[in-house]
Amino acid sequence: MNFVTLLLREIKYFTNFQNKMYQFLLFFQPLLFLVIIYFLREVRGDAESGQFVVATALLSMWTYVLYSSGSALTSLKWNETLNLLIAAPTSLFQVILTKTIANSFIALLSMILSFIYGRFIFQFPIGIHNYALFFIAVLVLLISLSVVGLILAAVFTISENVYSYQNLMLTPVLLLCGVFIPVDQFPSLLQPIAYAIPMTWGIQSVYQALEMSESVYFSMSVTLGVSFVFFILAFLVIRKMEFVLRKSGKMGAI
């Protein structure tokens, strides 16, 4: 089974939307956040709502990737299909990669819905001046989200209580990646940590594309570079994990 076939099957599986939690994350969470923004704008009288709508979209995208990609390997272990994958000729890394890529592109749906809700329900101005540039920035962000999803899928296998850790890191990572506050306004101690995360540069690229900043191309290049480093790291970790599982034959190895 090749990579494209696996990817299409993953997208087909998740677009069935059988999971109620994912339905909430994709369709209802953006609406709830936009309601909050609407009333905040009514109280403050702030007409510049485009960046807040984008922030809502980014929040929803990250939430979906965190829970879906972060649980990708653990869910296979729980439903006992990991044993079959280890015995299959397809590499475990390829399976996890297709899951994280599919999840990232499905998360794009939450961004699209956020824009639709914001524009047609709440009458928020989105403020996208160059749609081509913004679309490229979003694609670069999706790459960084896929890579972060790979790391999460590997890291979360160390704990059975995976959802507790996901809940714990949901908001801190959003803040650290500069969704609400620019990273250059962080304390100097936190800035290196924030800039080491691929998603930080991807989010910065989206905001810069929205503002038509000349630095957007630099940010997108750094996003791809940092994402590549994390991709290699995830590849080595998952391949080592697969090697241990095949050698020991025990799921307790993870």
pLDDT computed for residue 159 by the predictor: 65
Q: Quickly tell me which residue has 């749609």 as its tokens.
A: 131
pLDDT 10s digits, 85-96: 666 667 778 888
Average pLDDT over residues 181-206: 92
pLDDT computed for residue 194 by the predictor: 93
Please, are residues 129 and 208 in contact by the beta-carbon 8 Å criterion?
no
- Asked if pLDDT for residue 66 goes beyond 50, the answer is yes
Closest CA to 207 of 177, 234, 227: 177
pLDDT 10s digits, 136-173: 999 999 999 999 988 888 887 766 666 677 788 888 88
Helix (H) or strand (E) holding 2: none
Strand, coil or helix: 250: coil
- CA distances from residue 66 to 147, 152, 176 in whole angstroms, order as listed: 11, 7, 15
Average pLDDT over residues 191-198: 93
pLDDT computed for residue 86 by the predictor: 65
- Asked if pLDDT for residue 211 goes beyond 80, the answer is yes
Closest CA to 97 of 241, 245, 248, 238: 238
- Asked if pLDDT for residue 253 goes beyond 50, the answer is no
pTM for the full model?
Answer: 0.85
Residues across the chain? 254
Higher pLDDT, 209 or 253: 209
Most confident segment among 76-80, 84-88, 94-98 = 94-98
- Asked if pLDDT for residue 55 goes beyond 90, the answer is no
Domain regions of the chain by residue span: 22-253
Mean pLDDT over each residue of the chain, to the nearest integer: 81
Joined tokens for residue 176: 């650290």
Strand, coil or helix: 71: coil
d(CA 162, CA 222): 30
Q: How many CB atoms lie within 10 A of CB 112?
A: 13
Please, are residues 210 and 51 in contact by the beta-carbon 8 Å criterion?
yes
- CA distances from residue 244 to 84, 94, 241, 248 in whole angstroms, order as listed: 15, 17, 5, 6
Least confident segment among 68-72, 167-171, 200-204 = 68-72
